[in-house]
Homo-oligomer: A and B are copies of this chain.
Amino acid sequence: MKVGLADTTFSKFDYAPVVMKVLNASKPKVYVQRYTVPGIKDLPVACKKLFKNGCDIVIACGMVGRAPIDKQCSHEASLGMQMVQISEAKHILEVFVHSDEAKDDKELAKICEDRAKKHAQNALMLLFDQKEMQKRAGTGRRQGRPDAGKLKVD
């Protein structure tokens, strides 16, 4: 299996080492192809290119700024991601972190790291372990923050 890793020069966090650590530990082994582009709006076509190069799944990492226009850009990027995934019938796991998710750089970096790590694990689980994925259905899993857990109904 071949996993694509797309990332950006815009991001203030370097996701690649975090993602690579998870992917390198994968059993069965996966081959990784990386492709870097300027910003999040360049990611959908980056993913398309990675799929054309034989990737079975792509992890797309980006950072979103604080201005309203940045939100608009992330919306456009995410819609592009939908188009690519549907045209290829293959998953893109979107590791997008919004700058306003944290109060300072330190907290933001932690969110980036946690989200990247967990989505790299999700990518492997989608490729190799649908049984485990189904066990986790409806359990309130989160990437970038602690799991939310199930609804408390008792």
Q: Which of A78-121 contact B (CB under 8 A)?
A: 78-87, 89-94, 98, 105-106, 108-109, 112, 119
Query: How near does chain B come to A52, taking the closest CB pair, in angstroms?
Result: 6
A130 neighbours in B (Cβ, 8 Å): 35-36
Contact B76 A45 (CB under 8 A): no
Chain A interface residues (CB < 8 Å from chain B): 7-16, 34-38, 41-42, 44-45, 48-49, 52, 69, 71-87, 89-94, 98, 105-106, 108-109, 112, 119, 122, 126, 130, 133-134, 136-143, 148-153
Please, could you name 27 A-B residue pairs with CB atoms under 8 Å apart, sorted by A?
A7-B138, A8-B138, A10-B140, A11-B140, A12-B138, A12-B140, A12-B151, A13-B138, A15-B138, A37-B126, A37-B133, A41-B78, A44-B82, A48-B85, A49-B89, A71-B72, A72-B75, A73-B78, A76-B79, A77-B82, A79-B82, A80-B85, A105-B151, A106-B153, A108-B151, A109-B151, A109-B153
